[in-house]
């Protein structure tokens, strides 16, 4: 096809997707940054330029710092634990195991459920006194615990739910990677007399690095993106002890209707995600060995 005509075709085919992509991803991202330098329009008062006022408010906002700290803890715990469990699950399900089909289904099933439904089920476990966890606890003589109502326990209780939901999802990607490792490597290692652990540490684990990178980027994004369970389980409480950044953005925008402040918070979230994702690529670049 001659040049000019090919351009036109290329652009025409691309344009419907690009228009929607710009309308709902790039345009709002740019406008969010723009809006964060303006005040929230209220009633007849239009938005006016306020410079860094929203950011200064944020720095002085204790709730913001608490929510940010919560979210960083949430990421720091749920990401490594769910990835570690996912790897263990994948190794088990990939190996010789009695009842492999059932086990694989059990690991993966939570992934299929809506997070909001998962939260409902877990709410019931956490109910003080007669929830499943307290009932099992009482068999061992533990007293009643208000898992979601205690500021020290609420965030941890929410993390458990996230790990339960995510680990099986990440397992799938490890499983795919494990199945693509040629069996000849195992045979060669066996001939060389390498033990199981050495084989895993020196051969399997390095070969899984691209998968680990892929999974961990996903895990980082999810730890800032998924807040559905917070709505059902704690609504961020008690006293913001289990609130996460996106949940706080939701509250600022749609509960207090302070959209300018919510825009500033969104900018922080976007910066955070970019730093983490870019950081992971640079960090991983030196360690990942592509086949």
Q: Does 42 help bind another protein (rule: CB under 8 A)? A: no
Stretch that binds another protein, among 29-37, 50-58, 61-69, 151-159 (CB under 8 A): 29-37
Q: Please state, in angstroms and rounded to a whole number, the distance separating the CA atoms of residues 135 and 128.
A: 9
Stretch that binds another protein, among 25-33, 45-53, 186-194, 200-208 (CB under 8 A): 25-33
Joined together, the tokens standing for residue 288 give: 């990942």
Of 65, 33, 60, 48, nearest to 262 (Cα)? Answer: 33
Q: Please state, in angstroms and rounded to a whole number, the distance separating the CA atoms of residues 121 and 103.
A: 21
Number of chain residues interacting with another protein (CB under 8 A):
95
Of 82, 71, 165, nearest to 117 (Cα)? Answer: 165
Q: Please state, in angstroms and rounded to a whole number, the distance separating the CA atoms of residues 26 and 41.
A: 23
| Cβ 92 to another protein shortest distance, Å | 4
Q: Does 97 help bind another protein (rule: CB under 8 A)? A: yes
Of 181, 186, 180, 212, nearest to 198 (Cα)? Answer: 186
Q: Does 110 help bind another protein (rule: CB under 8 A)? A: yes
Q: Does 132 help bind another protein (rule: CB under 8 A)? A: yes
| Cβ 129 to another protein shortest distance, Å | 9
Cross-strand pairs, 49:
38
Out of 56, 76, 112, 190, name the contact with another protein by CB under 8 A. 112
- Could you say which residues in the range 219-258 bind another protein, by CB under 8 A? 221, 224-225, 227-228, 231-232, 246, 249-250, 253-254
> 266 preceded by cis ω (within 30°)?
no
Out of 7, 65, 205, 283, name the contact with another protein by CB under 8 A. 7
- 146: DSSP letter: -
Out of 50, 121, 203, 213, name the contact with another protein by CB under 8 A. 121
| Beta-sheet strands, E only, within the chain | none
Of 223, 96, 248, nearest to 170 (Cα)? Answer: 223
Out of 42, 52, 69, 180, name the contact with another protein by CB under 8 A. 180
- Could you say which residues in the range 143-172 bind another protein, by CB under 8 A? 164, 167-169, 172
Q: Does 116 help bind another protein (rule: CB under 8 A)? A: yes
């Amino acid at each position: 096809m001659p040049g000019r005509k090919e351009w036109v075709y290329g652009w025409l085919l691309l344009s419907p997707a690009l228009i929607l992509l710009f309308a709902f991803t790039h345009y709002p991202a740019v406008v969010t940054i723009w809006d964060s330098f303006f005040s929230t329009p209220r009633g007849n008062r239009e938005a006016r330029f306020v410079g860094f006022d929203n950011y200064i408010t944020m720095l002085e906002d204790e709730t913001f710092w608490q929510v940010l700290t919560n979210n960083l803890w949430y990421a720091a715990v749920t990401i490594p634990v769910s990835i570690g469990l996912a790897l263990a699950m994948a190794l088990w399900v990939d190996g010789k195991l009695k009842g492999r089909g059932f086990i694989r289904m059990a690991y993966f099933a939570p992934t299929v459920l809506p997070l909001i439904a998962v939260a409902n089920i877990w709410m019931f476990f956490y109910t003080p006194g007669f929830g499943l966890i307290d009932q099992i606890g009482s068999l061992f003589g533990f007293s009643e615990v208000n898992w979601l109502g205690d500021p020290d326990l609420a965030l941890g209780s929410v993390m458990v739910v996230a790990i339960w939901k995510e680990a099986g999802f990440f397992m799938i990607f490890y499983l795919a990677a494990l199945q693509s490792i040629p069996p000849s490597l195992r045979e060669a290692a066996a001939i060389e007399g390498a033990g199981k652990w050495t084989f895993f540490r020196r051969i399997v684990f390095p070969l899984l690095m691209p998968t680990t990178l892929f999974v961990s980027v996903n895990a980082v994004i999810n730890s800032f993106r998924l807040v559905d369970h917070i709505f059902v389980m704690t609504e961020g409480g008690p006293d913001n002890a289990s609130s996460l950044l996106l949940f706080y953005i939701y509250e600022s925008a749609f509960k207090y209707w302070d959209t300018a402040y919510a825009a500033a918070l969104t900018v922080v979230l976007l910066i955070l995600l970019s730093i983490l994702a870019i950081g992971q690529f640079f960090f991983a670049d030196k360690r990942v060995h592509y086949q």
